[in-house]
Amino acid sequence: MELFTVADIPEIESGDDLASIIRDRVDLRPDDVICVASTVVSKAEGRTADLSEFPAGPRATEIADRLAELTGETKDPRFAQAVLEESVDLLMEAPFLLTETPFRSRRR
């Protein structure tokens, strides 16, 4: 197994064709697996939110505090709250948030 990052990915904006951006920068083989951060997918799909719309509850505050302890960086509990509210399931809380999110097809 070989793991690598894709170089020269621009800042992703709403409406960007993420698949084409990746495909144009890497030679893919039939059995390759690509992992893409949900943040990048959300940006391309125009699914961003204002954190002020997510007042942090107790669980979100606990998660943010735990992440801050592990990483040494301050974490916004409103972000953790947004993740909790927008996810189907929280699979891992630390050292990063790993979630199951609902599939939203752009096809109608």
pLDDT digits (tens, 9 = 90+) for 49-86: 999 999 999 999 999 999 999 999 999 999 999 999 98
Within 8 A by CB and 6+ apart from 26, the residues are 6
Task: Indicate where the chain has its CATH 3.90.1660.10 domain(s).
Answer: 49-102
Q: What is the DSSP string of 28-62?
A: --TT------HHHHHHHTT----GGGS---HHHHH
Considering the domain delimited by 49-102, tell me its CATH architecture: Alpha-Beta Complex (3.90)
What average pLDDT does this structure show over 21-41? 91
- In Å, how far from its chain's centre is CA 24? 22
Model-level pTM?
Answer: 0.66
User: Where does the pLDDT of residue 108 fall: very low under 50, low under 70, confident under 90, or very high at 90 and above?
Assistant: very low
Residue 99, token pair as written in the block: 């979630």
